[in-house]
Structure 1
């Protein structure tokens, strides 16, 4: 009996350590992703497609090296072969989102992009209801409504000519692409995020290569492009892919909101880019709706299962 108690205590301690490590890794991913806008503002290359190409090339190199280190060559090839059509779809979504982010930076503020992007979990819930007929609770419908209102407030600036409609349109495209990838991954849970996103960086690099007028950049720009691809994109994805499997989805979503908080802050400190009043107002509505939704998810998952209902978690 004593040995059983010691074993249970050891398992509990191990689980707690894994949860803490997962939370640290997911927070680190949000921190790294939040640096994207500030790094991009330092790059002087005039052609955004050249920026997309080099960022994607560096991210691809890092992600491939990470997967080979983690799974070996055979394991990495097995992961790519096992993705199938769902993996290709997730890769296409990610290529769209990462490319749109770079182009959108030429037209709108980092705050606009990240605050619209904050609504991805709720947009995904809406898409899952449309495509998979997943049940959406009344509280989630209310949150989705406020996300729509908040985004409308931010986008309304483009209608008055204050900001470019292209920038806000691309920010919406990013949110929709990421939400679609979320729904596909939920439907096909065997799709591993790291190989799918690595394939997405390959897609983005290939398309950018066909669009770029010239790929030559200065040595200074290449240094920032290395950081943009490896640190911001590649390492951020590796941290998230590793840590998100160790913690509940609601906690991962909550920690992910730090990207939205910190991203505009770094750009303001480094480049004095101040978001407009409507961006702050609309973004606050989106962010508040997201936090309320996550808080409800926490309460729902923290409640003990009712008698006769299995408390086993769904497999990752």
Structure 2
């Protein structure tokens, strides 16, 4: 590891588990959940996509295969009175202690349990656009995408198309280039590793039936990650949002919307703000009860009190759309 990477890794905000945040019972992990938190609200968010292929929801329980250190444990996640998340390992083999710890960290990050939402709620209660959102969706967390390549891929796939078709493209990508594991009679899919896509050609990705440009962008992003030129640690670089946004925008195929989406959902930079997002515009239109979408200047004015909470404000407003 270079001196630069050692520095940035040390500065990366800890998404790890604070002392006392979890209990390891081998076959099951118990995560202590901070308030405010609502498993129902977060599950509702996750269930909005009927064509999702990377997790399954059944009987208010969440199932997912999580690739960790060469292993792929399958877990069931359920809540107990919104005070704890129970993570149960499925199948016959119990993962090692290190893998169990990393699974706990993954879920902790996925649900954004390391963020103190109290200041956001205090601000939102005084904001005309956000008050209804925090009252209606109390306990919702910014459900993230912990893996950088998956987050970038989702941003690229979703460019200039509707959400339904974006999920169709994601399923094609996963089922053609990802891998699957069988557990207790069910199939669980894992997102393609950047190494898999980096060695492909545009012709190889023709099966996805998306534009050649998007194929090129996807391959290019994978190659940067494989070559060590792009990582969460390098993007964080001391928490400078503007530098991180600039780094991403300088990548071919990554515009301001995709950059801010990645910084919002993967890096958890609170100031990330996809201000040009159509969904955000529609949500503001809905809350205001108007017949037209707001202009960019109007959004800037409306968001003047959201400083350092732009990402959460956006996430909560999106919730009105489903």
| Structure (1/2) with the larger helix percentage | 1
TM-score in same-fold range (> 0.5)? no
- Higher relative contact order at CA 8 Å, sep ≥6: structure 1 or structure 2? 1
| Structure (1/2) with the larger strand percentage | 2
Q: TM-score, normalised by structure 2?
A: 0.29
Q: TM-score, normalised by structure 1?
A: 0.29
